[in-house]
Structure 1
């Protein structure tokens, strides 16, 4: 697969998920928006387009290039083991998701990283558009780390493709403002991350926000003691203290937020 085909694939997954979960939100919404959904989407999709163009310029084909290099030269842990191919793909996805959990945790506990990550958390409502509301600085650091991890584990293109696709769809689902059936969420909680779990993570309360770091799998929170379940969903207020003025959460404000006054 060429870099351009990889970009087309990711864009197809992104757009398909965006439309699918938007339609579900409109059909079975969890709660009514407290601010204009149209304005929020303009901001969230605006920063998404800006980030996509910048990342395409900076990291054009980098992940696939590194993946092809380690596979061709038999580098990385997976290329030194006799595991069957399907198992290597599974290990790649699980390993990268675990390291993503660690990275997410660091974004909350390291002040420098939180400066960038709070852009994501200042969204006043949660819906599928929140899934890509990130500052370019955070994406630049995370992509750089991912390149090193792909090299270290020796991930080939299929493992990377499955991980990237799963990551996009999981993030869109867990941010969606849709009312999922209670029985489904109870089952989904055991291994994956439903909207109710991630909604707690977006709470304005710091002791609730600093939990539930999982993206694809919820098992890391369960195993490492950061899982929070028993929270009244109806009382969760989304956002970050000190950032409740909708007029100060425009695209321009989000781009300079990491360099402005620090807010915990």
Structure 2
């Protein structure tokens, strides 16, 4: 119950700030690039459905790159470890992020929308499916093996992301995909052969629940980093 309160607390805190600061900017950027026909997609004569598909795939690939950088760059890891220090994994983990990470991510996302010339529908579709898939693969649900084998070909099942939350660094630095698993497969960051029952969730050096309260999570990026 306490970790749920911490996770929900940081979620509400993030939502209030991000909605005030960034949501309206993202919306206005979509409207602006569409109205002014700015961006790569607006320089081509491809059908609308193709532009939407490109927006969806491109945004997911860039999220993969951003996720990888959060693990590989020490400065970004300071913020991202807030997400990984959760000692269990369920739907509340999907929104347990430091406001600093989300703010940087929002600026990058707005820049990508401007570069791509993505319209509101494409971005909204991506953001909606992103929320649902993040909730699904953090849920820890056990799905039938036959379904998972098929689903894993293109998408991210809970077992794949559970490996990513392992305390073992080699396993944690893998499986970066959010919606599609194909980026991990193509770029060699996919790990599958891990015993799910032996996975320990968390980050080394952050095992005490009493030191993972809401205020600890807020100041964590400014304390000594733990790889």
Map 1:1-264 to 2 at 5 A: 38-264=1-227
> What is the count of residue pairs matched by the alignment?
227
Return structure 1 stretches of 4+ with deviation > 2 angstroms: none
Q: Which runs of 5+ in 2 are unaligned?
A: none
- CA distance in 2 between counterparts of 1:154 and 1:227 reads 31
Deviations 1:126-170 (A, max 9, x none): 001100000000000000000000000100000001000011001
How far did residue 224 of structure 1 move?
A: 0.4
RMSD (Å) for aligned C-alpha atoms: 0.6
TM-score, normalising length from structure 1? 0.85
TM-score, normalising length from structure 2? 0.99
How far did residue 60 of structure 1 move?
A: 3.9
- CA distance in 1 between counterparts of 2:143 and 2:4 reads 22
Deviations 1:200-219 (A, max 9, x none): 00000000000000001000
Q: Which runs of 5+ in 1 are unaligned?
A: 1-37
